Amino acid sequence: MVPPTHPAASPRSNRSQSTNVPIYDPVPKCDGALVRPRQHMSDMNKYRIDLGLFIPHIEATGNYDVNGNVLLLPVRSRGEFWASFGNVTALAKLYGVEVNKEGVKFMKTERLGIGFKLEKSDFKIKDAINMQNVIGEAMNVFLNENSAEIIEEMKPAASQAIGKHFKNFLNNAFLQIPLKVWLKDSE
């Protein structure tokens, strides 16, 4: 039996590309009823699925931690963040393989590529170390005025983290449901 779960409910973990990149602990929320498929293409003989989705609204809340230097000056900030993304178009490319467990065929997600575009974004940070300071408010202004460039810079790391999470989520399901149950031609 596949345990009930929500694909966006990820275990808390810290992700960072380097010591000067913020570490985020996100908890995303989106209204699944509003998620609409945009396109679908598959070749189940090769266990290959492409799926495009349109998501009108996603919110993420969590904690961040920044510890580094800017122009030789130490910068230290830690606190809560909130982000809102609107009109998200996503494309998932799933590459699966057949696995055999005790004579029963299953599909395993071997690779999952994720790409996305978004039209709107809003950010807000609440610094717990430097409370009510000009730098914290300036950071909020900077994030929102430069959101397109910031998102473009973070897109590779975000795509990789999202892909890793959903690959695990899909394998939790695919490796418990035999191919003959959900793919009738596989017998």
pLDDT digit string (tens) for the chain, length 187 residues: 444 444 444 444 343 333 344 444 444 556 555 778 888 888 988 999 999 989 888 888 899 888 888 788 887 888 898 999 999 999 999 999 999 999 999 999 999 999 999 999 999 988 888 776 777 788 889 999 999 999 999 899 989 988 998 899 999 999 999 999 987 666 6
pLDDT of residue 73: 80
Q: Which two tokens stand for residue 89?
A: 């178009």
pLDDT of residue 153: 93
Q: Quote the CATH superfamily of domain 23-186.
A: TULIP domain (3.15.10.30)
pLDDT of residue 24: 43
**14-42 burial: b if 16+ Cβ within 10 Å, else e:** eeeeeeeebbbbbebebeeeeeeeeeeee
Every domain of the chain and the residues it spans: 23-186
pLDDT of residue 30: 61
pLDDT of residue 32: 54
pLDDT of residue 17: 37
pLDDT of residue 187: 60
